[in-house]
Amino acid sequence: MKRIIKNIIIQLASKPRILFLVDSVGALLTTLSLIVVLRTFHELIGMPLSVLPYLSILSACFCIYSASCFLFLKQNWVPFIRIIGIANLLYCVLTLGLVLVYFPQLTPFGIVYFLGEIMIVGVLVYIELHVATAIKRKSGSL
């Protein structure tokens, strides 16, 4: 698994634009699942309805940011990758905090969904921050 992630980092360091596309699509899927699926089936999840719009707004902002970087950014990738990496990390911390706060209300399916999302986004954060470091190292400006 470590070798696979290392190869992904190497590939994305040479094509950082793709990283923003992946991040944007992931944020879009998160937004849609929060708005459509979790809102519709909130009884099966257990997370209060009042929380879901805030998470969906955050993920929509991340989607717009990453899509904008994908479409318009031509160089100087590192600071923009770090921004989305740190933002995604903070999203994970926020989501984990919400899981802890609302744990008594969450169903097993809700716990699995949110912890799964944290793990997926956490892997993305790891890749993003390591891609930023690899690009910086490659450009010789460490």
What residue numbers bound the domain in which 21 lies? Answer: 13-138
Of 25, 9, 96, the residue nearest 60 (C-alpha): 25
The total number of structural domains that make up the chain: 1
The set of residues, in sequence order, having a beta carbon less than 8 Å from that of 65 and lying 6+ positions away, is 83, 84, 87
Residue 91 structure tokens? 């999203």
Q: What is the structure's pLDDT at 42?
A: 85
> Which has the minimum average pLDDT: 19-28, 96-105, 112-121, 131-140?
131-140
Q: Which runs of consecutive H residues, i.e. helices, occur in 33-107?
A: 39-40, 42-45, 52-72, 77-101
pTM of structure: 0.92
Distances (CA, A) of 115 to 48, 95, 99, 109, 134: 16, 8, 8, 10, 28
- Where residue 31 falls among pLDDT bands split at 50, 70, 90? very high
Q: Is the pLDDT of residue 111 over 70?
A: yes
**Which amino acid belongs to residue 2?**
K
Cβ atoms of 45 and 110 within 8 Å: the answer is: yes
Q: What is the mean pLDDT of residues 26-36?
A: 95
Residues 21-28: what's their mean pLDDT? 98
Task: Report if residue 7 sits inside a domain.
Answer: no
Greatest CA separation found in the chain? 52
- 21: which 2 tokens? 């596309």
Residue 5, domain member (yes or no): no
pLDDT of the residue at 141: 53
Predicted local confidence at residue 90, as pLDDT:
98
Contact in structure between 98 and 58 (CB atoms under 8 Å): no
Q: Each residue of 69-105: pLDDT tens digit?
A: 999 999 999 999 999 999 999 999 999 999 999 999 9
In a domain, 17, yes or no: yes
Instruction: Tell me the Ramachandran region of residue 100: left when phi exceeds 0, alpha when psi lies from -120 to 50, beta otherwise.
Output: alpha
In a domain, residue 130? The reply is yes
Average pLDDT of the chain, as a whole number: 94
Structural domain contains residue 83: yes
Looking at residue 2, its pLDDT comes to: 84
Could you tell me if residue 4 is inside a domain? no
Q: Is residue 6 part of a domain?
A: no
1 occurs within a structural domain: no
